[in-house]
Structure 1
C-alpha cells in the first residue's frame, strides 16, 4: 500500500486523501473509476480512447488480439497515472496539499 497525499479546500472542513503510486482501480475499472472520483473529463477521454482502441479489430484479421493488447497497455497507463490525475483534478478545483 502506497502513501497518501492529503488535500483540503480552504474555507471548507473537507480533507481528501489521494494515494500515491499505481492505481489498481484505474487499471481494472477505467472510466467507472474516474466517474467515482468525479473526474468527468478523464472518464469521457477514457471511453473515447477505449472505443478508438477497438477500431483496429475491424481492419485486422487477428480477431481481438490487437485491441486486447492496446487496451491492456492503455489500462496500464491509466493505472500508472490515475492517482496523479486525481490529485491534479482536485488541485484545479481549489484543493491545496496539506
Structure 2
C-alpha cells in the first residue's frame, strides 16, 4: 500500500487523504469510483470510453476480443492514474497539500 498525501481546504477544518500508487477502486469500478470522488468530468470520460468499448461487439468476435483487451488496458490506466487524477481535482477545487 502506498503512502497518503493529505490536503487541507483553507478556511475550513477539512482534510482529505489521497492514496498514492495503484487505485484498485478506479481499476475495478471505473466511473462509479470517479462519481464517488465527485470527479464529474473523469466519470463522464470513463463512462463514454466504456460505452464505446461495449459497442465494439457490433464487429463480431474480433470486435469482442479487441473491446475486451482495450477495456482491460483502459482499466489498468485508470488504476495507475486514478489517485493522481483525484489529487489534481482536489487541488483545482482549492485544496492545498499539507506538508
Task: State TM-score, norm by structure 2.
Answer: 0.93
Q: Distance in 2 between matches of 1:36 and 1:56?
A: 27
In structure 2, the partner of 1:15 is 15
Specify every segment of 5 or more residues in structure 1 that has no aligned partner in the other structure, as ranges: none
The runs of at least 4 aligned residues of structure 1 exceeding 3 Å deviation read none
In structure 2, the partner of 1:62 is 62
In structure 2, the partner of 1:24 is 24
Higher helix share: 2
Q: Does 1:93 align with 2:89?
A: no
Aligned residues: 98
Q: Distance in 2 between matches of 1:97 and 1:85?
A: 14
31-40 vs 49-58, greater mean Cα deviation: 49-58
Task: State TM-score, norm by structure 1.
Answer: 0.94
Q: Does 1:3 align with 2:3?
A: yes
Q: Contact 2:3–2:19 (CA<8 Å) still a contact in 1?
A: yes
Specify every segment of 5 or more residues in structure 2 that has no aligned partner in the other structure, as ranges: none
